[in-house]
């Protein structure tokens, strides 16, 4: 019997367009013999629509111009009922379908940060990827860094800038601790949205002000000289670590434009040309970091490899780019998990985790000791 799979994409996020690209790749690949696919588009205002699979994107082949096309008559909401969780057409209250599993591919805010995962948990729908905790921690660079530091994992040094704290004092602290150049990053964003590289005092002040437009907290981070290595992780308790890949930016750094707009913005070297001993260390570090922030399902772990062989963990992406040319699926394919099978496996992991969590809940409800 086929599963009703809801692919949720778009969203109120600076990574809205990236999500459209990921959703398109999944929709074009998912096994229709196993799943009835329902495309649930979320526009930039937060409205939900059931999309027509044959007509839901404008400029689908152009990452710089891609946009969502919606039919206002198909605006929907997910509503819990006694036996299932239904997609309801809001215009007339008609039940459209009951979902068996959700695949959220909304990168960034309200999709990757635990918000959507919490909604799916409340609806009792199995959800692909990390749960509320793993998603929230993975999204928040400051919280993730502090957890990793406590676990003894090396990360780039940083100074925190906040919107209500004296900017000149923060810059003085950063200059004394980090020197130049430095990177300026909103604490909660992805895909290099709002990320800047500052080479002097004036640039740093300007970049902090720009980054504070995206978040109330901004990290000023030391620039690590090293190769950019990425490792894909798949699993809940038992983890598969991919062969590592390397990002070789052709811009000054791996910016949003280099990732998604400029087709020659970066070279992906997969697998990375590194010795076997370093491959093992990359995989072990990626698995350890994955567990520390309570990931499940999948994540891409990014790190720097310094010339002396030291590994510095950069970020953990709990909902990585998912186009066929994105690093996560490319690395998993090299590790023996082709794109269609990867989708199947992620859905299987989501349902397995949901079943386990549901059993825990039933045990609690039956326990009269409390």
Residues counted in the chain? 370
Domain with CATH 3.30.470.20 in the chain: 227-349
Domain 227-349: give its CATH architecture. Answer: 2-Layer Sandwich (3.30)
Closest by CA position to 186, among listed 207, 156, 157: 207
Quick one: pLDDT at residue 369?
A: 54
The CATH code that applies to domain 3-127 is 3.40.50.20
Dump pLDDT digits (tens) for 1-41: 899 999 999 999 888 999 999 999 999 999 999 999 999 99
Domain with CATH 3.40.50.20 in the chain: 3-127
The CATH code that applies to domain 157-222 is 3.30.1490.20
Quick one: pLDDT at residue 140?
A: 95
Indicate if the alpha-carbon torsion angle 239, 37, 48, 193 is positive or negative.
positive
pLDDT band, residue 262 (cuts 50/70/90): very low
pLDDT band, residue 250 (cuts 50/70/90): low
For tokens 């520390």, the residue is 292
pLDDT at 218 over 60: yes
Domain with CATH 3.30.1490.20 in the chain: 157-222
The whole-angstrom separation of Cα 13 and Cα 113 is 11
Measure the CA angle with vertex 191, ends 323 and 134; round to 5°: 90
The whole-angstrom separation of Cα 348 and Cα 339 is 14
**28: number of CA atoms within 13 Å, CB side?**
12
Helices (H) and strands (E) in the chain, counts: 10, 19
pLDDT at 146 over 70: yes
The whole-angstrom separation of Cα 227 and Cα 246 is 7
pLDDT at 81 over 80: no
């Amino acid at each position: 019997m086929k599963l009703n799979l809801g692919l949720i994409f778009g969203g109120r996020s600076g990574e809205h367009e990236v999500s459209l690209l990921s959703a398109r790749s999944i929709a074009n690949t998912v096994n229709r013999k196993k799943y009835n696919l329902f495309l649930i588009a979320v526009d930039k205002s937060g409205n939900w629509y059931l999309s027509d699979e044959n007509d839901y994107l404008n400029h689908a082949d152009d990452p710089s111009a891609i946009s969502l096309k919606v039919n206002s008559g198909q605006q929907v909401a997910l509503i819990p009922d006694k036996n299932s969780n239904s997609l309801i057409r809001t215009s007339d209250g008609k039940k459209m379908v009951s979902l068996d599993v959700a695949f959220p591919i909304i990168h960034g805010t309200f999709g990757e940060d635990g918000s959507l995962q919490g909604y799916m948990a409340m609806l009792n729908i199995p959800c692909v990827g990390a749960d509320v905790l793993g998603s929230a921690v993975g999204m928040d660079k400051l919280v993730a860094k502090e957890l990793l530091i406590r676990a003894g994992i090396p990360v780039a040094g940083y100074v925190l800038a906040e919107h209500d704290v004296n900017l000149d004092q923060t810059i003085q602290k950063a200059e004394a601790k980090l020197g130049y150049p430095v990177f300026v990053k909103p604490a909660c964003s992805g895909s290099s949205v709002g990320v800047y590289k500052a080479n002097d005092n004036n640039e740093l002040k300007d970049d902090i002000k720009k980054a504070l437009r995206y978040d109330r907290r901004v990290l000023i981070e030391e620039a690590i000289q090293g190769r950019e290595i990425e490792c894909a992780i798949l699993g809940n308790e038992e983890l598969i670590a991919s062969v590592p890949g390397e990002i070789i930016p052709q811009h000054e750094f791996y910016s949003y434009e280099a990732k998604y707009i400029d087709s020659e913005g970066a070279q992906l070297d997969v697998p990375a040309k590194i010795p076997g001993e370093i491959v093992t260390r990359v995989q072990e570090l990626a698995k350890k970091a994955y567990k520390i922030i309570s990931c499940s399902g999948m994540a891409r772990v990014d790190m720097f490899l310094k010339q002396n062989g030291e590994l510095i963990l950069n970020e953990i992406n709990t909902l990585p780019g998912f186009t066929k040319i994105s690093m996560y699926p490319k690395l998993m394919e090299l590790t023996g998990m082709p794109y269609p099978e990867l989708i199947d496996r992620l859905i299987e992991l989501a349902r397995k985790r949901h079943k386990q969590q549901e059993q825990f809940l039933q045990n609690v409800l039956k326990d009269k000791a409390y």
